[in-house]
Amino acid sequence: AQSVTQLGSHVSVSEGALVLLRCNYSSSVPPYLFWYVQYPNQGLQLLLKYTTGATLVKGINGFEAEFKKSETSFHLTKPSAHMSDAAEYFCAVTSASGGSYIPTFGRGTSLIVHP
């Protein structure tokens, strides 16, 4: 079984401030981990993913995330928030289940960016 917990349904930052969105996962086998972003009235877009190898992964729009196995975490960060970053962010985990990989998503964190 796999699950994802995103701490904080809403995160508010000022433009130019650090963005930190938290994600903890549970998986009985080595996971693949993802962050997706959803803008209003749109589908989800992949920001970044971890499968194997380097634990610090860089994604689009200046975001990055670090896989920490000991903490079962995959927090998303960006050094300086931009107004255009305001959106809903979803963490997801995938691991093999009966031969198929079906992503499980967290509840989402709404990022609010103040001018």
Partner 1 sequence: NAGVMQNPRHLVRRRGQEARLRCSPMKGHSHVYWYRQLPEEGLKFMVYLQKENIIDESGMPKERFSAEFPKEGPSILRIQQVVRGDSAAYFCASSPGQSGEKLFFGSGTQLSVL
User: Which residues would be at the binding site for partner 1 (CB under 8 A)?
Assistant: 9, 32, 36, 41-46, 49, 51, 90, 94, 97-108
Kindly tell me which of 46 and 56 has the beta carbon lying closer to partner 1.
Answer: 46
Question: Which residues does residue 44 pair with via DSSP β-bridges, in sequence order?
Answer: 38
Beta-carbon contacts of residue 70 (< 8 Å; ≥ 6 apart): none
Minimum CB–partner distance for residue 95 and partner 1 (Å): 9
Kindly tell me which of 62 and 105 has the beta carbon lying closer to partner 1.
Answer: 105
Minimum CB–partner distance for residue 80 and partner 1 (Å): 27
Kindly tell me which of 13 and 47 has the beta carbon lying closer to partner 1.
Answer: 47
Contact 9, 109 (CB under 8 A): yes
Minimum CB–partner distance for residue 41 and partner 1 (Å): 7
Question: Which residues does residue 5 pair with via DSSP β-bridges, in sequence order?
Answer: 24
Beta-carbon contacts of residue 42 (< 8 Å; ≥ 6 apart): none
